[in-house]
Amino acid sequence: MHAIILSGGSGTRLWPLSREAYPKQFLSLVSAESLLAETIERAKAIDACDHVIGVTNEEHRFIVAAHLQKQCAEINHEIILEPVGRNTAPAIALAALMAMESNPDATLLVMPSDHVIANTEAFHLAVSVAEKAAQSGHLVTFGIVPQSAHTGYGYIQSERRSGNWSPVSQFVEKPDLETAESYLNAGNYYWNSGIFLFRADRYLEELGKFRPDILESCRQAYANRQKDLDFTRVDADAFASCPEESIDYAVMEKTSDAVVVPLDAGWSDIGSWTALWEIQAQDEQGNVFKGDVIVEDVYNSYIHSEGRLIAAIGLQDHVIVETDDVVLVADKNRVQDVKKLVAQVKAQDRLEHRFHKRVHRPWGTYEGISMSDRFQVKRITVNPGAKLSLQKHHHRSEHWVVVRGTALVTRGDEETLLTEDQSTYIPVGVVHRLSNPGVIPLELIEVQTGSYLGEDDIVRFEDTYNRC
């Protein structure tokens, strides 16, 4: 079995914790591990699973690679890079083509990277049932046993009300409340999870039957792929020509071989702040608090502090989320409108929708501390054994002060080792590189001065990570 983990989303509904450059699948929202890490572990725990394929984009590639390198050292793992987002049908087609290279009879377990499944044992039991159906040629979707008349999910109607699996009667769009209540009472409707299991050849066969244009674009893009470090880059032009379509619309709603396996395993797609509140332990007043929080007369609310103290009085059904640079306050019944706030941030040409103050790079992180017209201060952390690109800047000079660990500094033709409390100066136009030769993270303070301080003022001469 090949586990196909889709990790291309931006997670704007959980803004400001989730942002485009570091969305919710990389966050630790319900445990000490990220949602992606939990997804990988669920896949690894399946006895039949011996291969993991991640499908992601250019921006997130190194974060996904770091997860797979850490968690999948003992099993095969690969990463496909999509040049542009084209929804789930093309993404799964690329993964199917890759899986069939190693095994023409490969079975694919397709999972989004940002879901929560509380009962892993129940999930694995459902997978074993689905695998039997898939081996006989069916395309399996997992239907979540509904706990309420939810209007935020699509539904799957099965032909039978009981049994291990049943043919799908129809897929239904998100209903109104009255319709959702009728589905709940009927007993043969399930929430659409977006999790699938089928043979790779059967998926490609059905995709070719109903959307041959998508299949042909994916075949061309995969045929002209290139290897880059741990990544498989498909042909950008061929993939850009591919129509954008979900697997539901492209295949599952059209095929006569779709079946649904019920899944009752504490599932959530954490599609909103309310959904995150619902799945976590609440106190006697119905509240969920994270971080430094003090309240008086607060009920049925979610309050999350990343650093500063949040003090609240006399609230009910509210969401408050504090980060280094944004504070969100919302009525819990209006959290689906967070995307409207994100749209306003974009329209104002701000950056809070894209980046946290701490920005992740393949070599570590940097965090803005202070910024003015002609200077800015950053805290830089370089992972053990990692190094930045060999580069220069046209408009800024840099001062580095080591506060923890050891730095190997290349400056022109010189190489120097710096330890704690030591510093160096990089003038404008001087070729330089920062490396961490040690076994602990390197932390330093960088002070930039100059007429232009944008991140695009970088000329790279050599880069371990093949960035332009």
Show Cβ contacts of residue 323 under 8 Å, excluding neighbours closer than 6 positions. 16, 17, 306, 307, 356, 357
pLDDT for the residue 134? 96
- Domain for residue 278, yes or no? no
Which amino acid, one-letter code, is at 155? Answer: Y
* Claim to verify: residue 314 and residue 410 sit in the same structural domain: no
For residue 279, being part of any structural domain is answered with no
Are 11 and 78 within one domain?
Answer: yes
Domain boundary residue, one of 318, 347, 376? 347
Q: Last residue of some domain: 305, 321, 347?
A: 347
Domain contains 31:
yes
Q: How many C-alpha atoms does 427 have within 13 Å on its Cβ side?
A: 3
- Residue 257: the pLDDT is 96
Q: How many domains does the chain have?
A: 3
Asked whether residue 276 is domain-assigned, the answer is no
Q: Is residue 467 part of a domain?
A: no
Burial 319-346, CB ≥16 within 10 A → b, else e? bbbbbeebebebebeebeebeebbeebe
Q: Are residues 29 and 114 in the same domain?
A: yes
Q: Specify which residues 187 forms β-bridges with.
A: none
pLDDT of residue 10: 77
Which of 300, 318, 347 is the last residue before a domain boundary?
347
Closest CA relative to residue 10, chosen from 242, 331, 343: 343
Residues 370 and 420 in one domain: yes
Residues 422 and 458 in one domain: yes
Q: Is residue 468 situated within a structural domain?
A: no
Q: Are residues 125 and 48 in the same domain?
A: yes
Whole-number pLDDT of residue 160: 80
Residue 352 within any structural domain of the chain: no
Same structural domain, 204 and 301: no
Report the distance separating Cα 301 and Cα 287, nearest Å.
Answer: 5
- pLDDT single digits (tens) 303-344: 999 999 999 999 999 999 999 999 999 999 999 999 999 999
Please name the residue ranges forming H helices in 187-235.
200-210, 212-223
Q: What is the pLDDT of residues 275-311, one digit of tens each?
A: 999 999 999 999 999 999 999 999 999 999 999 999 9
- Any domain includes 57: yes
Query: Read out DSSP for 402-454?
Result: EEES-EEEEETTEEEEE-TT-EEEE-TT--EEEE--SSS-EEEEEEEEES---
If asked whether residues 432 and 391 sit together in one domain, one would say yes
Looking at the structure, tell me whether residues 364 and 391 fall in a common domain.
yes
158 and 250 Cβ atoms separated by less than 8 Å:
no
Cα(240)–Cα(243) distance, rounded to whole angstroms?
Answer: 8
Contact criterion met (CB below 8 Å) for 240 and 108: no
Residues of the chain with pLDDT below 50 are none
CATH number at residue 81: 3.90.550.10
In a shared domain, residues 341 and 374: no
The domain of 429 spans 358-462
H-helix or E-strand spanning residue 194: strand 189-199
| Among 328, 318, 381, residue whose Cα is nearest residue 352 | 328
Contact 279, 268 (CB under 8 A): yes
